[in-house]
Amino acid sequence: MSLTNKNVLLGIGGGIAAYKSADLVRRLKERGFDVRVVMSQSAMEFITPLTLQALSGHPVASSLLDPAAEAAMGHIELARWADLVIIAPATANLLARINAGMADELITTTCLATEAPIALCPAMNQQMYRNLATQANLTSLASRGYTLWGPASGSQACGEVGLGRMLEPVDIAELAIQFFASSDAVQLKPLAGQSILITAGPTREAIDPVRYISNHSSGKMGFALAKAAAEMGATVTLVSGPVSLSTPKGVVRIDVESAQNMLDAVMNNVDNKDIFIGCAAVADYRINDVATCKIKKSTEEMQLALVRNPDILATVASLPNRPFVVGFAAETHDVETYARDKLKRKNLNMIAANDVSVAGLGFNADANALRVFWPQGNQDLPATDKLSLARQLLSLIVKEKTNT
């Protein structure tokens, strides 16, 4: 894929991570992108426009009220020029202003004026990132089509450790390449003619008529996979546990409750499928003896006898004419060890693992990061919004299935 005609507008917010922007410009240029830079007023306190001008080969834009620039409607010109806008670092303040639709300086005005997709690379103190206001802004932005790249977790300039570090420039540059590859892939519809069965969401295992055992899965990752697969031309059937999500356009949805219900639905629909993706968080156990009436509170302790549920992934993988089988592994520690064991033990073609102990990623979040393993290789997919991640994972599946 040629990147020589791809235009990237880099917006730099006013945070300490702005010092990485010079390296980011260089990384993007090395990969063939044409790069222009727009800076917030506060960003110029951290790095000079002259440095970025020398690296990008273009004048740096910063002032909304620059007479020379506005003679040619500078903010509109930049907005129309861009094929992709990357805001890095996207500080808490800048995210709030973009979410509010403010046009108070050139960088926010350009975000309003462009029709190009916008990728936000959050960078801030870990407590600021976890603040409910920031999380609400990120959720709102993701729901309106903004792409989230990061943040990463690690040591921060303030001396604290946690989620909030801007992704490294080399990772952002690679995500830009993957973005255009995914966009081109969607246009070329690489899954045209393929039939895909996906499971999503939690299952509920009844205790009595009013109580059940379940988990924190929101179904967002599975629904993102269904949406992305349909965009890429596949015929998609989605078997979903109880969730509060809208069915993606063009997707056939089957709603279920329990693990047994989900297995029955999968087995009734798996014939002639090319790909099966088990993204649901299926309960490992169910109640041995479900009460027919509500259990009344009577003793200080109550014991429930559990029996193992059927293994949907292993069942599909053992079929004589099996599809290409992809599993998910939500872990809290030793992610690679458990993922590789599950890949081998269940005879899967591929497994996507994520660490659900990381705040802001995984269950109920709009962003996720995956470590993908298959018998001949592996690849890390850095934190981003779940739809972008789904497109990247599907591209990996297409590539590996073709090579199998």
Query: Residue 160: exposed, middle, or buried by beta-carbon count in 10 A (0-12, 13-18, 19+)?
Result: exposed
Q: Which two tokens stand for residue 57?
A: 């080969």
* Residues recognised as catalytic: 158
- CB burial readout 161-187, b (16+ within 10 A) else e: ebbbbbbbbebbbebbbbbbebbebbe
DSSP string for residues in 305-326 = -EEEPP-HHHHHHTSTT--EEE
CB 118 within 8 A of CB 146: yes
Sequence-separated (6 or more) residues with CB below 8 Å from residue 149: 86, 88, 119, 120, 121, 167, 171, 172, 175, 382, 383, 384, 388
Q: How many CB atoms lie within 10 A of CB 316?
A: 23
Q: Using CA of residue 130, residue 132, residue 133, residue 139, what is the dihedral sign? A: positive
Q: Which two tokens stand for residue 95?
A: 């995210």
Amino acid occupying residue 6: K
As a dihedral over the C-alpha atoms of residue 34, residue 37, residue 38, residue 42, rounded to 10 degrees, the angle is 160
Sequence-separated (6 or more) residues with CB below 8 Å from residue 140: 99
Q: How far apart (Å, rounded) are the C-alpha atoms in residues 376 and 370?
A: 17
